[in-house]
Amino acid sequence: MEVDFSGDVMTLNMGPQHPSTHGVLRLELKTDGEIVAEAIPHIGYLHRCFEKHVENVDYPGVIPYTDRMDYCAAMNMELGYVLTVEKLMGIQVNNRVRCIRIIMAELDRIASHLIAAGTYGNDIGSFTPFLWCFRDRETILDLFEETCGARLLYNYNWIGGLMFDFKPGFEKKVIEFIDYFEPQVDNLNRILSDNFIFVKRTATVGIMSPEVAINYGVTGPNLRGSGVKFDVRKDEPYLGYQDIDFEVAVGKGEHGPIGSCWDRYMVRIREVKESCKIIRQTVAQLTPGDVRESIPKRVKPPAGEVYMRTECPRGELGYYIVSDGGLKPYRLKVKSPCFTVMSAFQEVSRGSMIADVVAILGSFDIVLGEIDR
C-alpha cells in the first residue's frame, strides 16, 4: 500500500508493556493519524542468552531450558532438542516412545494453537473465545500433568526415551478429549472465524506473498497461510510422520487475497483438526514397551555437528549442535521460527492501520520467550 503522508509523522511507542504485543515486544510505529508507515520491532526484552546457558549444563540439563523458550509449546521444543541429540548419538527409540512422543507433540500443538486462536480473538476484540480456548487447553494440560507432573514446562521427553510412561487408561482419556474437542472447533468457528466483523478485520490485511514469506524464512503455519504447501512433518519426516495420514493445511484465501491474517489464523484451526486425526491414528499404533529402554547412562555424544528441525506449532524449530565430545554442548544454536517471522513483520505491516498492526502481530502468533531466547 502506498502511503501519502500529508501531516507530521508521530512516533508511537507500542510496548514493551502493551496488552497486545504478546509479551515484551516493542514496536516503534511511525504514524500519521491512524495509518502506520513503518512498524519497527525492537526485541530482546526477554533475552536470557539461552545459548550461553546451555554451554554450561550437560545435555539432559538443557531440556528444562528448551522448555522455557516457547513456553506455550514446551513439549515440541524439547522434542526437537532430544531428536537432535539422538540423531547426533545415533539412538533409536522403540515404537512406544515414538507413538507417545507424537501424541504428546500433537496434543501440545492443539494447546498451542488454541492459545494462538484465543489470543488472536482477544487482539481483534472478542474476549469470549479466548476463555473458551483456554478451557479446552486446560483439559490438555490436565492430561500432561497426569503423565509427567507439570502443566507447562514438562521436561518430559528425555534423550533416548521419556520421563514416564502413560498412566493406565490415558489413551482412553485422550480419545475422549478428542471426541469432545472436535465439535468445539466448529463452535469456535461460529463465534469467531466466520464472524463477519472478524473476517472484515483480518481477511484483507497483512498480506504476505509466498515470495516474501520464503525470502524471510517464514515457516510453519505462517508460511502455509501464504499458500505454500510445506510441512516438515511431510517433507522431511521424523518420528515416522510419513506413515500417518493427514492433510497439510494451507491458506486458501476464501475471503480475500491468499496470505492474509485470516488465512494464517485459519491454517491453525485446520491444523488442530489434523492433529486430532494424527492422535487418533497414533493411539491405535501404541504397542507395549519400556519408555526408558534406550536412555543412555551418560549422554556423551561424539564430536561433530548436527542440524535437525522439527515442525513445532509456530514453525520450523531447528537445533544446530556442535559437540566436542564432552558432556556439555560446545555450541547450540537455535533456529527460532518466531524470530524469522518477526523479521518479516516490518515488511508486511507497512502502510496498515494501527488496529491492523495488532491484527498482523496476532496472526504471526509469536512467543517472545522464543524470539529473545
Interacting positions 34-63 with other proteins (CB under 8 A): 34, 43-44, 47, 49, 51-53, 55-57, 60-63
Please report whether residue 293 would count as binding other proteins according to CB under 8 A. no
Please report whether residue 220 would count as binding other proteins according to CB under 8 A. no
CB 347 within 8 A of CB 41: no
Please report whether residue 327 would count as binding other proteins according to CB under 8 A. no
Please report whether residue 305 would count as binding other proteins according to CB under 8 A. yes
CB of 31 to other proteins, least distance (A): 9
Q: What angle do CA 321, 80, 222 make, to 5 degrees?
A: 110
Please report whether residue 149 would count as binding other proteins according to CB under 8 A. yes
CA 205 from centre of chain: 22
Please report whether residue 122 would count as binding other proteins according to CB under 8 A. yes
323 strand-pairing partners: 304
Q: Which is nearer to other proteins, 239 or 344 (CB)?
A: 344
Q: What is the rounded distance in angstroms from the CA atom of residue 161 to the CA atom of residue 295?
A: 6
CB of 240 to other proteins, least distance (A): 18
Please report whether residue 300 would count as binding other proteins according to CB under 8 A. no
Q: Which is nearer to other proteins, 269 or 344 (CB)?
A: 344
Please report whether residue 145 would count as binding other proteins according to CB under 8 A. yes
- C-alpha distances in Å from residue 304, one per residue of 242, 300, 321, 325, 332: 28, 12, 8, 8, 12
Site for other proteins in 246-285 (CB under 8 A): none
Q: Which is nearer to other proteins, 290 or 305 (CB)?
A: 305
Please report whether residue 116 would count as binding other proteins according to CB under 8 A. no
CB of 34 to other proteins, least distance (A): 5
CB of 284 to other proteins, least distance (A): 25
| Per-position b or e across 328-366, b if 16+ CB within 10 A of its CB | bbeebebbbbbbbbbebbeebbeebbbebbbbbbbbbbb
Site for other proteins in 231-250 (CB under 8 A): 235-236
309 strand-pairing partners: 318
Nearest to 77 by CA among 109, 46, 45, 44: 109
Please report whether residue 110 would count as binding other proteins according to CB under 8 A. no
Q: Which is nearer to other proteins, 95 or 256 (CB)?
A: 256
Please report whether residue 76 would count as binding other proteins according to CB under 8 A. no
Q: 3-state DSSP call for residue 318?
A: strand
Q: Which of 30, 281, 307, 350 binds other proteins (CB under 8 A)?
A: 307
Handedness of CA 371, 155, 231, 224 (dihedral sign): negative
Q: What is the rounded distance in angstroms from the CA atom of residue 115 to the CA atom of residue 22?
A: 11
Q: Which is nearer to other proteins, 163 or 175 (CB)?
A: 163
